[in-house]
Amino acid sequence: MKKLLLKLLPAVGMMLMLTGCPEQPEEPFIVERRPHIAILVAEGFHDGEAYMPYGYMINQGFEVTVIGPAIGPVQAYNSDFTIGIQRTVENVSIDNFEALIIPGGRAPAELREHPDIVEFVREFNREGKVIAAICHGPQLLAAAGALEGRTITCVSGIQEEMEEAGAEYVDEELVIDENLITSRVPGDLDAFSLAISEAVIEDFDDYMETVLPPQPGM
Protein backbone atom coordinates (compact mmCIF):
# COMPACT_ATOMS: atom_id res chain seq x y z
CA MET A 1 0.00 0.00 0.00
CA LYS A 2 2.78 2.43 0.92
CA LYS A 3 4.62 1.76 -2.38
CA LEU A 4 1.40 2.36 -4.30
CA LEU A 5 0.83 5.66 -2.52
CA LEU A 6 4.37 6.79 -3.26
CA LYS A 7 3.86 6.04 -6.95
CA LEU A 8 0.61 8.01 -6.95
CA LEU A 9 1.98 11.12 -5.22
CA PRO A 10 3.36 12.82 -8.38
CA ALA A 11 0.07 12.31 -10.20
CA VAL A 12 -1.93 13.65 -7.26
CA GLY A 13 0.30 16.72 -7.09
CA MET A 14 -0.22 17.44 -10.78
CA MET A 15 -4.00 17.14 -10.38
CA LEU A 16 -3.96 19.66 -7.53
CA MET A 17 -2.03 22.14 -9.66
CA LEU A 18 -4.42 21.77 -12.59
CA THR A 19 -7.55 22.20 -10.45
CA GLY A 20 -6.20 25.34 -8.78
CA CYS A 21 -6.26 24.00 -5.20
CA PRO A 22 -4.58 26.34 -2.73
CA GLU A 23 -1.04 25.34 -1.83
CA GLN A 24 -0.78 23.54 1.52
CA PRO A 25 2.21 23.81 3.85
CA GLU A 26 4.57 20.85 3.34
CA GLU A 27 4.59 18.33 6.20
CA PRO A 28 7.69 16.29 7.02
CA PHE A 29 7.67 12.81 5.53
CA ILE A 30 8.58 10.16 8.13
CA VAL A 31 10.02 6.94 6.76
CA GLU A 32 8.93 3.96 8.83
CA ARG A 33 11.89 2.09 10.32
CA ARG A 34 11.70 -1.63 10.99
CA PRO A 35 13.41 -3.51 13.82
CA HIS A 36 16.68 -5.04 12.64
CA ILE A 37 17.78 -8.44 13.97
CA ALA A 38 21.22 -10.08 13.72
CA ILE A 39 21.66 -13.85 13.66
CA LEU A 40 25.20 -14.88 14.60
CA VAL A 41 26.43 -18.15 13.08
CA ALA A 42 29.53 -20.03 12.00
CA GLU A 43 30.36 -23.41 10.51
CA GLY A 44 28.47 -26.15 12.38
CA PHE A 45 25.35 -24.18 13.31
CA HIS A 46 22.11 -26.04 14.09
CA ASP A 47 19.81 -25.69 11.08
CA GLY A 48 16.44 -25.42 12.85
CA GLU A 49 17.74 -23.11 15.57
CA ALA A 50 18.90 -20.67 12.90
CA TYR A 51 16.22 -21.00 10.24
CA MET A 52 13.12 -21.09 12.45
CA PRO A 53 13.83 -17.81 14.29
CA TYR A 54 15.00 -16.31 10.98
CA GLY A 55 11.70 -17.12 9.29
CA TYR A 56 9.67 -16.02 12.29
CA MET A 57 11.35 -12.60 12.39
CA ILE A 58 10.87 -12.11 8.65
CA ASN A 59 7.18 -12.98 9.02
CA GLN A 60 6.93 -10.35 11.76
CA GLY A 61 8.15 -7.76 9.26
CA PHE A 62 11.59 -7.37 10.84
CA GLU A 63 14.80 -6.94 8.89
CA VAL A 64 17.26 -9.80 9.46
CA THR A 65 20.99 -9.94 8.73
CA VAL A 66 23.17 -13.02 9.19
CA ILE A 67 26.56 -12.15 10.66
CA GLY A 68 29.63 -14.25 11.44
CA PRO A 69 33.40 -14.62 11.13
CA ALA A 70 33.56 -14.38 7.32
CA ILE A 71 31.15 -13.62 4.49
CA GLY A 72 29.90 -16.67 2.61
CA PRO A 73 27.97 -19.91 3.15
CA VAL A 74 28.48 -22.09 6.21
CA GLN A 75 27.31 -25.66 6.71
CA ALA A 76 24.94 -26.93 9.40
CA TYR A 77 26.36 -29.79 11.46
CA ASN A 78 23.09 -31.74 11.52
CA SER A 79 21.94 -31.56 7.88
CA ASP A 80 22.93 -30.54 4.36
CA PHE A 81 21.51 -27.04 4.89
CA THR A 82 23.73 -24.02 4.57
CA ILE A 83 23.20 -20.38 5.46
CA GLY A 84 24.94 -17.37 3.97
CA ILE A 85 26.79 -14.98 6.26
CA GLN A 86 26.09 -11.50 4.90
CA ARG A 87 28.28 -9.34 7.15
CA THR A 88 31.23 -9.79 9.48
CA VAL A 89 31.20 -8.19 12.91
CA GLU A 90 33.89 -5.75 11.71
CA ASN A 91 31.43 -4.38 9.17
CA VAL A 92 28.49 -3.82 11.51
CA SER A 93 27.79 -1.96 14.74
CA ILE A 94 25.61 -2.92 17.66
CA ASP A 95 23.74 0.30 16.89
CA ASN A 96 22.51 -1.36 13.68
CA PHE A 97 20.46 -3.96 15.57
CA GLU A 98 17.67 -4.27 18.10
CA ALA A 99 18.45 -7.90 18.94
CA LEU A 100 21.05 -10.63 18.51
CA ILE A 101 20.14 -14.30 18.07
CA ILE A 102 22.73 -17.01 18.76
CA PRO A 103 21.65 -20.46 17.50
CA GLY A 104 23.22 -23.57 18.95
CA GLY A 105 25.03 -26.52 17.45
CA ARG A 106 28.81 -26.53 17.18
CA ALA A 107 29.01 -22.94 15.96
CA PRO A 108 29.10 -21.21 19.40
CA ALA A 109 32.27 -23.10 20.31
CA GLU A 110 33.77 -21.86 17.03
CA LEU A 111 32.55 -18.29 17.51
CA ARG A 112 34.06 -17.93 20.98
CA GLU A 113 37.53 -18.45 19.45
CA HIS A 114 37.19 -15.08 17.67
CA PRO A 115 38.04 -12.18 20.03
CA ASP A 116 36.24 -9.62 17.84
CA ILE A 117 33.03 -11.65 17.98
CA VAL A 118 33.29 -12.15 21.75
CA GLU A 119 33.76 -8.39 22.15
CA PHE A 120 30.76 -7.73 19.89
CA VAL A 121 28.57 -9.90 22.13
CA ARG A 122 30.04 -8.32 25.27
CA GLU A 123 29.25 -4.84 24.00
CA PHE A 124 25.76 -5.91 22.92
CA ASN A 125 25.09 -7.11 26.46
CA ARG A 126 26.70 -4.06 28.05
CA GLU A 127 24.21 -1.88 26.20
CA GLY A 128 21.30 -3.95 27.49
CA LYS A 129 20.15 -5.00 24.03
CA VAL A 130 18.15 -8.17 23.55
CA ILE A 131 20.32 -11.28 23.20
CA ALA A 132 18.62 -14.63 22.57
CA ALA A 133 20.66 -17.85 22.79
CA ILE A 134 19.46 -21.42 22.47
CA CYS A 135 21.03 -24.83 23.06
CA HIS A 136 24.84 -24.31 22.99
CA GLY A 137 24.41 -20.59 22.23
CA PRO A 138 25.07 -19.54 25.86
CA GLN A 139 28.66 -20.77 25.45
CA LEU A 140 29.30 -17.52 23.62
CA LEU A 141 27.60 -15.54 26.41
CA ALA A 142 29.94 -17.24 28.89
CA ALA A 143 32.97 -16.29 26.79
CA ALA A 144 31.73 -12.68 26.77
CA GLY A 145 31.39 -12.62 30.56
CA ALA A 146 27.65 -12.02 30.29
CA LEU A 147 26.40 -14.75 32.66
CA GLU A 148 27.60 -13.70 36.10
CA GLY A 149 24.55 -13.58 38.37
CA ARG A 150 22.13 -14.31 35.53
CA THR A 151 19.46 -17.01 35.37
CA ILE A 152 19.46 -18.96 32.11
CA THR A 153 18.68 -22.27 30.50
CA CYS A 154 20.53 -24.22 27.81
CA VAL A 155 21.07 -27.77 26.58
CA SER A 156 21.75 -29.88 29.67
CA GLY A 157 25.16 -30.98 28.41
CA ILE A 158 26.68 -27.56 29.09
CA GLN A 159 24.91 -26.87 32.39
CA GLU A 160 28.06 -27.25 34.48
CA GLU A 161 30.02 -25.02 32.11
CA MET A 162 27.38 -22.29 32.42
CA GLU A 163 27.31 -22.54 36.20
CA GLU A 164 31.10 -22.18 36.27
CA ALA A 165 30.61 -18.96 34.28
CA GLY A 166 28.41 -17.62 37.07
CA ALA A 167 24.93 -18.46 35.79
CA GLU A 168 22.06 -20.07 37.64
CA TYR A 169 20.69 -22.87 35.47
CA VAL A 170 17.01 -23.82 35.36
CA ASP A 171 15.50 -26.59 33.25
CA GLU A 172 12.69 -24.69 31.50
CA GLU A 173 11.78 -24.16 27.85
CA LEU A 174 12.19 -20.40 28.13
CA VAL A 175 14.02 -18.17 30.60
CA ILE A 176 14.04 -14.39 30.39
CA ASP A 177 16.45 -12.47 32.62
CA GLU A 178 16.37 -8.79 31.73
CA ASN A 179 17.86 -8.59 28.21
CA LEU A 180 18.81 -12.29 28.00
CA ILE A 181 16.43 -14.82 26.45
CA THR A 182 17.49 -18.47 26.57
CA SER A 183 16.01 -21.83 25.61
CA ARG A 184 17.21 -25.43 25.68
CA VAL A 185 16.54 -27.42 22.50
CA PRO A 186 14.72 -27.23 19.13
CA GLY A 187 11.45 -28.25 20.83
CA ASP A 188 11.51 -24.87 22.59
CA LEU A 189 11.75 -22.82 19.39
CA ASP A 190 8.12 -21.68 19.31
CA ALA A 191 8.34 -20.08 22.76
CA PHE A 192 11.88 -18.83 22.02
CA SER A 193 10.92 -17.08 18.77
CA LEU A 194 7.78 -15.52 20.24
CA ALA A 195 9.72 -14.16 23.22
CA ILE A 196 12.30 -12.55 20.94
CA SER A 197 9.59 -10.90 18.85
CA GLU A 198 7.77 -9.53 21.90
CA ALA A 199 10.97 -8.18 23.47
CA VAL A 200 12.05 -6.52 20.23
CA ILE A 201 8.68 -4.87 19.67
CA GLU A 202 8.64 -3.51 23.23
CA ASP A 203 12.19 -2.17 23.03
CA PHE A 204 11.68 -0.79 19.54
CA ASP A 205 8.51 1.07 20.55
CA ASP A 206 10.37 2.58 23.50
CA TYR A 207 13.20 3.60 21.18
CA MET A 208 10.89 5.21 18.63
CA GLU A 209 9.24 7.24 21.38
CA THR A 210 12.62 8.75 22.20
CA VAL A 211 13.53 9.70 18.62
CA LEU A 212 10.12 10.74 17.31
CA PRO A 213 8.05 13.35 19.15
CA PRO A 214 4.32 12.63 19.58
CA GLN A 215 2.44 13.52 16.41
CA PRO A 216 -0.61 15.83 16.48
CA GLY A 217 -3.80 13.94 17.14
CA MET A 218 -1.99 10.86 18.51
**How many CB atoms lie under 10 A from the CB of residue 70?**
10
Which of the residues 36, 46, 114, 136 is marked catalytic?
Answer: 136
> What backbone torsions phi and psi does residue 45 show, to the nearest 5 degrees?
-70, 160
Contacts of residue 60, defined as CB under 8 A and 6 or more positions apart, other chains included, come to 197
Cβ burial of 198 (10 Å; 0-12, 13-18, 19+) is middle
Active site residue 136: yes
User: Is the alpha carbon torsion for 169, 153, 85, 205 positive or negative?
Assistant: negative
Q: How many whole angstroms separate alpha carbon 37 and alpha carbon 112?
A: 20
- State the catalytic residues: 136
